[in-house]
Chain A
Amino acid sequence: MRGKAKEMTPEVTWQEITPGGTIYEPGNAEGYKTGDWRSMRPIWIEEKCTQCMLCPPVCPDTAIPVKDSKRLDFDYDHCKGCGVCFKVCPFNAIDFIKEEDKEE
């Protein structure tokens, strides 16, 4: 019986799969890249950011990483582009653009 998320390959058979879809390890959401659901994209403008820390707690995912009491750039693997951080920023330090308008 396989039980870890990485063992749940597209080849796993019904005899090997865990009953009920239970995964025998925690923290599996990190491994599931949901960023490609995004149609709108927040852009962090670092020079305008005062590190007021209003944005990280309103993110419904954990797509605004925080290190040493400072926010870092967005985790685009998990940001779904909801725009709540853009709304809450008092300093216009977050832009919110269409995904297709992003600069490569």
Chain B
Amino acid sequence: MSIRERLSGNEAIAVAMRQINPDVVAAFPITPSTEIPQYFSQFVSNGQVQTEFVAVESEHSAMSACIGAQAAGARTMTATSANGLALMWEMLYIASAMKLPMTLSCVNRALSGPLNIHNDHSDSMGARDSGWIQLYSETNQEAYDNLLQAIRIAEHKDVQLPVMVCQDGFITSHAVENIELLEDDKVKEFVGEYKPDHYLLNHKEPIAVGPLDLPAHCFEHKREQAQSMINAKKVILEVAKEFEKLTGRKYEYFEKYNLDDAEIAVIIINSSAGTAKTVVDKLRENGIKAGLLKIRMFRPFPADEIAEALRNVKALAVMDKAESYSAMGGPVGAEVKAALYGKADGIKVLNYIYGLGGRDVRADDIEEVYNSLMDIVKTGQIGETYRYIGVRG
């Protein structure tokens, strides 16, 4: 029997980390993820975990300590947000290139400037090309479930890549929701023991980690790294299937909500999917064929599967809680349009920037998006595809 609890998203992550009982956690506090290392350090002090908690002086040091620990052979975890993730930037690429399967809980917050502590996706979207697997979470439950699965995905022999589990700052990180936890022993069994093939503390096989990699070999290493991301697609589904057997909770690359017969659809990430679902329900009551696609896995990007899922959609709006300043839309929009090209070319696609800097995303906003899609279907006219919603002016 699973355990029924009421936890905030940060608590859910900290509890997952307690149950995983990693060898090393190195972290530096930053709003809104501060509570994760705060709760976790209490578990360390109480002797509830055997983890070595490394209190560092910056996020650059946090990620550096994680890299050293994971290379040494330790299962390593951390958490951060926004500028903390930005300060890790240099080291994020090194963690993935060195094939170090650590996990990071990213509590999404707007990356300064202007200085802002509230939710959008500019932090993790900026890190989308750093070689980390990225899983996104609508709810506290999904954040908890994704983190447990992340350990298995990261450490799989065909992957060996770090995984970032993202959730919306304050919206889910600080809101208390009902949640179903696994028992400690079930988590322990599910994540298993970390047994790397090669690690620095193995005195029987001294190794060199992170050596200089010149033009004769660097390209081959990058290709090998890219293959791990390709392999991750299969592994993520396998781990999800095993997790479903254990919990009854089903995970895929994305969630389809009333999508199969939908004529108009929205693609969205994280907590705003909940808002969008209520709008879909309302539209469906009025006989409108509205659907939703909520992306869970952004890296690797499930391009073929998204194109297939949207095959019958006539008009689509891709929602981006991050600008990319390309003057043509946001990062999710760019990926989705690339995915559809040549595979589902008939779909009219809008790309909305929404909710930047913690701007509330109301059901009315999402309904306005669906209304625009209905107009496009009716008139055949699409107009400007790069749009903002919820901004004044």
In the complex, are the beta carbons of A14 and B209 less than 8 A apart? Answer: no
Q: Are B206 and A26 in contact (CB-based, < 8 A)?
A: yes
Query: Chain A residue with minimal CB distance to B222?
Result: A14
Whether A23 pairs with B207 at a CB distance below 8 angstroms is yes
Task: Answer yes or no: B213 CB below 8 A from chain A CBs.
Answer: yes
How many angstroms from the CA of A58 to the CA of B217 in the assembled complex?
33
* Distance of A30 from chain B, by nearest CB (Å): 11
Instruction: Please measure, in the bound complex, the distance between the C-alpha atom of A43 and the C-alpha atom of B208, giving whole angstroms.
Output: 32
- Known A17-B217, A17-B221: A23·B208 in contact at CB below 8 Å: yes
- Interface hits, A2-24 → B, CB 8 Å: 5, 8, 10, 12-15, 17, 19-24
Which residues of chain A are within 8 angstroms of B221 by Cβ–Cβ distance?
Answer: 14, 17, 19-21
* Interface hit among B17-25, B95-103, B279-287: B95-103
Q: Which residues of B contact A19 (CB under 8 A)?
A: 99, 160, 221, 224-225, 228
Q: Which residues of A contact B218 (CB under 8 A)?
A: 21
A28 contacts the other chain (CB 8 A): yes
Question: For residues 184 through 224 of chain B, which have their beta carbon under 8 Å from a beta carbon of chain A?
Answer: 198, 205-213, 216-221, 223-224
Among candidates A8, A22, A32, residue contacting B198 with C-beta atoms closer than 8 Å: A22
A22 and B217 form a contact (CB under 8 A): no
Tell me if A25 counts as interface (CB < 8 A to partner B): yes
Of B205, B206, B209, B212, which one neighbours A20 at CB under 8 angstroms? B209
State the Cβ distance, B156 to closest chain A Cβ, in Å.
Answer: 13
Tell me how many residues of A have a C-beta within 8 Å of chain B: 18
**Residue pair B208, A28 in contact (C-beta under 8 Å):** yes
* Distance of B160 from chain A, by nearest CB (Å): 6
- Asked whether, in the complex, the Cβ of A13 is within 8 Å of the Cβ of B198, the reply is no
Asked if residues A14 and B98 are in contact (CB atoms below 8 Å), the reply is no
Say if the beta carbon of B178 comes within 8 Å of chain A.
no
A20 and B213 CA atoms in complex are apart in Å by: 10
**Nearest-Cβ distance from residue B231 to partner chain A, whole angstroms:** 11
- Tell me the A25-79 residues at the B interface (CB within 8 Å): 25-26, 28, 32
Q: When A20-B100, A21-B98 are in contact, do A12 and B207 touch as well, CB less than 8 Å?
A: no
Say yes or no: A24-B207 contact (C-beta < 8 A), given A12-B217, A19-B224: yes
Q: Are B211 and A17 in contact, CB atoms less than 8 angstroms apart?
A: no
Q: Does A20 contact B210, Cβ atoms closer than 8 Å?
A: yes
Say whether B42 faces chain A, with CB atoms less than 8 Å apart.
no
Q: In the bound complex, how far is the Cα of B224 from the Cα of A65, in angstroms?
A: 39
CB-based contact A25/B206 at 8 Å? yes
Q: Which of A19, A24, A25, A32 has most B Cβ within 10 Å?
A: A19
Which residues does chain B contribute within 8 Å of A10, judged by CB atoms?
Answer: 216-217
Residue of A nearest to B224 (CB): A14
* B227 within 8 A of partner (CB): yes
CB contacts (< 8 Å) of A23 on chain B: these are: 207-208, 211
Residue contact A17 to B224, C-beta cutoff 8 Å = yes
B217 contacts A8, C-beta separation under 8 Å: yes
Given known pairs A13-B220, A17-B224, the reply for A24 and B213 (CB within 8 Å) is: no
Closest to B100 in A: A20
| Apart from A19-B225, A20-B209, A24-B207: 5 A-B pairs, beta carbons within 8 A | A8-B217, A14-B224, A17-B217, A21-B217, A23-B207
Residue contacts A-B, CB under 8 angstroms, 24 given? A12-B217, A12-B220, A14-B220, A14-B221, A14-B223, A15-B224, A17-B221, A17-B224, A19-B221, A19-B224, A19-B225, A19-B228, A20-B100, A21-B97, A21-B210, A21-B211, A21-B218, A22-B207, A22-B211, A23-B208, A25-B206, A25-B207, A26-B208, A28-B208
Q: Which residues of A contact B (CB under 8 A)?
A: 5, 8, 10, 12-15, 17, 19-26, 28, 32
